Amino acid sequence: MEIDEDKIDETVLALLFLTLHDGQRAWKGMDFEVMNRLYEKGYIDSPKNKNKSVWLTDEGLSRSEALFEKIFSK
Protein backbone atom coordinates (compact mmCIF):
# COMPACT_ATOMS: atom_id res chain seq x y z
CA MET A 1 0.00 0.00 0.00
CA GLU A 2 1.30 3.43 -0.90
CA ILE A 3 0.85 6.03 1.85
CA ASP A 4 0.08 9.69 1.18
CA GLU A 5 2.27 11.46 3.75
CA ASP A 6 0.63 14.82 2.99
CA LYS A 7 -2.74 13.44 4.15
CA ILE A 8 -1.13 12.14 7.33
CA ASP A 9 0.55 15.52 7.91
CA GLU A 10 -2.77 17.33 7.43
CA THR A 11 -4.57 15.01 9.84
CA VAL A 12 -1.89 15.42 12.50
CA LEU A 13 -1.93 19.20 12.04
CA ALA A 14 -5.71 19.13 12.50
CA LEU A 15 -5.34 17.05 15.67
CA LEU A 16 -2.82 19.53 17.04
CA PHE A 17 -5.64 22.08 17.01
CA LEU A 18 -7.53 19.79 19.39
CA THR A 19 -4.70 19.97 21.94
CA LEU A 20 -4.05 23.72 21.83
CA HIS A 21 -3.18 25.46 25.10
CA ASP A 22 -1.38 28.65 26.12
CA GLY A 23 -2.16 30.39 22.85
CA GLN A 24 -0.38 28.58 20.06
CA ARG A 25 1.12 25.60 21.91
CA ALA A 26 -0.02 22.03 21.27
CA TRP A 27 0.98 18.70 22.74
CA LYS A 28 3.44 16.96 20.46
CA GLY A 29 2.68 13.31 21.23
CA MET A 30 2.62 12.39 17.54
CA ASP A 31 5.02 10.46 15.34
CA PHE A 32 8.38 12.22 15.22
CA GLU A 33 8.74 11.95 11.44
CA VAL A 34 5.38 13.66 10.95
CA MET A 35 6.28 16.41 13.41
CA ASN A 36 9.58 16.93 11.60
CA ARG A 37 7.76 17.27 8.24
CA LEU A 38 5.37 19.83 9.78
CA TYR A 39 8.42 21.75 10.98
CA GLU A 40 9.98 21.61 7.52
CA LYS A 41 6.71 22.93 6.03
CA GLY A 42 6.80 25.88 8.45
CA TYR A 43 3.71 24.95 10.50
CA ILE A 44 5.44 24.37 13.86
CA ASP A 45 8.66 25.29 15.60
CA SER A 46 11.39 22.67 15.94
CA PRO A 47 10.10 19.56 17.69
CA LYS A 48 13.68 18.58 18.59
CA ASN A 49 13.63 19.59 22.23
CA LYS A 50 12.62 18.23 25.62
CA ASN A 51 9.36 20.18 25.75
CA LYS A 52 6.16 18.16 25.69
CA SER A 53 4.50 20.75 23.47
CA VAL A 54 5.32 22.55 20.27
CA TRP A 55 4.59 26.11 19.09
CA LEU A 56 2.37 26.48 16.02
CA THR A 57 3.41 29.29 13.69
CA ASP A 58 0.72 31.77 12.65
CA GLU A 59 0.35 29.88 9.35
CA GLY A 60 0.31 26.56 11.21
CA LEU A 61 -2.40 27.73 13.59
CA SER A 62 -4.58 29.00 10.77
CA ARG A 63 -4.08 25.84 8.69
CA SER A 64 -4.63 23.62 11.73
CA GLU A 65 -7.99 25.24 12.50
CA ALA A 66 -9.13 25.06 8.86
CA LEU A 67 -8.16 21.39 8.58
CA PHE A 68 -9.83 20.57 11.90
CA GLU A 69 -13.10 22.07 10.62
CA LYS A 70 -12.76 20.35 7.24
CA ILE A 71 -11.99 16.90 8.61
CA PHE A 72 -14.00 16.75 11.82
CA SER A 73 -17.05 19.03 11.55
CA LYS A 74 -20.51 17.72 10.71
Q: Is the pLDDT of residue 4 over 90?
A: yes
The CATH number of the domain holding residue 33 is 1.10.10.10
| Residue numbers of the domain that contains 25 | 5-72
Greatest pairwise CA separation for the chain in angstroms? 39
The tens digit of pLDDT for each residue in 36-73 reads: 999 999 999 998 888 899 999 999 999 999 999 999 99
Q: What is the pLDDT of residue 49?
A: 86
